[in-house]
Structure 1
């Protein structure tokens, strides 16, 4: 399953639309959502000497750093699509 990430929501991405159509024509699965690019937290963290703090694929970023990215919505959609339930402790 393919997924668009680092999508700039400020611009209409015609190229992305063409690639999406091509991906579907080739019979590949393209997830119907995307992860939006956000640079706000990078600039804020650099003030304190942290660089590249949001590059981990193991540890989740703080909720305030995820705002506006669509990451939480993506996770929920993936879990629903894969029929995975959240276990609350």
Structure 2
């Protein structure tokens, strides 16, 4: 199973322990990770199910390319990191 890992800064705001989930895409993995945590889901995804602008997801060290459908592939050994994007000026 893939591992979904939330950064410590998210844990300050929401309950989001790392977890093992099944799925072959980021969407499937997140659907399983959020199955019993609607608050976390709405923090990471918008009402259309797209990744919010202030969030980033990396799979096995590479930022995902599909922020809308979350169709990037994952496998049983994948590590899916979810973190807040930083901006500055």
TM-score normalised over the length of structure 2: 0.25
Normalized per residue, the structure richer in strand is 2
Decide which structure has greater helix share: 1
| More RCO (CA 8 Å, sep 6+) | 2
TM-score by length of 1: 0.25
